[in-house]
Structure 1
Amino acid sequence: MSERHIARALARRIEVLDSSVDDAERGSAAQFIYLGRQPILDRDGALNAYELLFRTGAHNYAEVSDDAQATAQVVAHTLGGIGVPAVLGPLRGFVNIDRALLFNDIVHLMPPERFVLEILETVRFDAQLTRRLGELRRAGFQVALDDVGELSDELIDVLPYTDIVKIDFLQTPRAALAELAATLRGHGKTLVAEKVETREDFALARELGFDLFQGYFFARPQVLAAPHSRSVRPGLLRLLALLSRDAGIVELEAELKLNPSVVVQLLRLVNSSAFGLGRNIASLREAIIATGTRQIARWAQLLLYADSGDLPWRADPLVQLAGTRSRFMELAASWLRPSDNDFADAAFMTGIFSLVHVVLGSKPRVVLEKLGLAPHIREAIVSGSGELGTLLRLAEVAGEGGDAASIAAAPDAPAGFAALTPDVLSELNLSAAAWFGAHVEEAAV
């Protein structure tokens, strides 16, 4: 079967569900993926954007146990599961995002002209985060603050790093609205009145100069649904293994043909406005060339995280440990060789695959040989050899709170590893923990 036929066979009609779903429909929820979207209107009442919302079923409310996993699924479902054209049309999508994913390469899967990063109110701002927001804004993203309800010194301090402020009309005292809105307008921010539930609230928001409006007064969220594919984790692992050893297009194409659901999502991704190609791509080979292997790797990592099995992302100790370990190794590799992206990518892949044998219930050498992993990565995991093997030992010891610096400073350590001092390793550990949204100690439990 050709790539075109695979895509046609698996592409299904998107279903829009309202909140009145009978029990039989609820019982079939496991067969679908779900995504909520709520309109955001301009001052003339025209559609301006959607907020994209995590949904686990046709019922129109969120059941979020893990912010990072929820966002990963929203992005995966929008870009691949359902598709940007069906979800957003020509409009932008606001996506709730926590601190962990702000530091994750996954964010770059979202085309910045189509997605607004809506920072959750629970996110703590510090110098590291403001630097990251600067990077993302320079890449073209707009940043929105969610659920603002009062003026504070903290709010004023973070305004230079944001573009849009969403003011919660249910929580903000009416007497404070005028000053809050005037102050934010004075800083040049786009104002969104959210949770607007009455005509009086809408009139007040317009009078106070709000630019955009969202709430039950205009529309409740819709729930979009599309057929749920089976778990693609084994295929994703094989795909990542190929990417780790710079496999050619022929090998990538052959592997992807064995995973039709991944093919469909890849074609949706590359045919979306993320790439601005101005033409549809139906050929799998064209899709690989147009997307690029680095972007495919990002996509595969996103799907691997979103497809977390029976446990929430942060509750799955293997996913936690592999994710934090891989990021630590990538950061350490970049510290050792700042200009060697290939070395950093190989270090990340080594961390990702260092626990795959546990996921698949087999022995490391057997699993990694079957996956056809790059030899230097395979041997780093199986026998601890080479620079990657030393980085893996560092990550393992650091993850357990041990003395990783002694490994880096040992006489038999590779050249240059002594630069990984205790202070540096501590900083890398904290950065890896922030990237994955959990402390190393929690990930190792």
Structure 2
Amino acid sequence: MSTTPDSSLPGATSTKTEANALVGRQAILNEQREVFGYELFDRSAASFTAASDAALLFNALSYAGAEALVGKKLVFINTTHDGLSGGHLELIAPEKVVLEVPPMPAGSCAFDITTRCGVFGALKERGFRIAFDQHALTKDYASWLPLADFIKLDMMHIKAEQLPAVVQFTQKYTKAHIVAEKVETKEQFECMKALGVKLFQGYWFAKPDVIQTKTVRPNQAVIMQLLNLVRSQGSTAEIEALLKKDPTLSFNLLRFINSAGFGLSIEVTSFRHAVMILGLKKLFRWAALLLTTSRGSDTAPAVGQTAVVRGRLMELLAAEMLTPEEVDNAFIVGMFSLLDSMLGIPMEMALDAVALPQSVRDALLTRTGVLAPFLELTLACEQGDDDTFARLTDALHLSNHQVNWAHLQALAWAETFDDMN
């Protein structure tokens, strides 16, 4: 897959199902704060918390061709009980799919609840995994527990003092993996981790923990020097001289350039060769990618991967509307949108260390300029603000399908670098 934008985003879809689907996502992390999987949800549902239509999500995944995403990460898909049957379940490999099943409607009798076990069992025999929320821990749902592969505990709806007992009960009476969802703070993450929980959902990991006096790590400083040198049109000899000072950086940058994500037909063996093949603009992009995925022990690995998804998503969304130069800048905005979290310093200080176009600075610092709406839409894909999501898609004249296609392609593209961090 090339890092350059495709010549066009798919236009309006041919089916009502695809046109109506609006895919959102949240990352699910392991205890090392690496991306374990993604929960995909239908933005066209009544609200962020509403059970969504699995058929829409399966169709969107299939149509966007997100095999790389489904091949590496588990995909958690919200579903209704009606969505547990139908042809859409044949569209992607069941071994990588976790069906998130809501509780039965209020007033359901014990017989109706127990009867659902047959449906769950048949799905599991086909290879699907099943996730329930904390309602499955209540007496009425005891018959569901043996079928649970995951139990999701909502941190917003369980009192802090009740968490140890709830976790202990889940561990004792199920073989399910516990997912702590709606984790908002590092303290909540540490608390649940201490209780033995190994999976977490929420974007607390992307919140910057900045210290005004913190210094940039040496390897990051060299990458930033490289970015400035490339940005100022430095000579090939100057670039090579800088890279020779850091063999690890040189190796990693060449590894990125030769990765599947770039799609070159020949191997780049030196930086003189890289400049000749790529040009300085593309070399800047790859140095930015390397800075994004370079991390210390105090930075969650998921931060870098989230930034890569944002960069690619902004690039794809901007491809039809902006000049090639601004499309490149859109990629940088998305990549650097978590720079404060990655470096542990305020965003303005981080941006002052790298020479960047004004449109990039405007989008990141003040949310203004031509790139700002694309950044806001990219962030909305991760969050529950449906009004903002709808407003920005309308303002940018993007169809639901165009956003879905770009979103799922960005997730799949980020997977091509997952093993290189």
Which TM-score band (shorter chain)?
0.3 to 0.5
TM-score (norm 2): 0.41
Q: Which structure carries more relative contact order (alpha carbon 8 Å, separation 6+)?
A: 2
TM-score (norm 1): 0.39
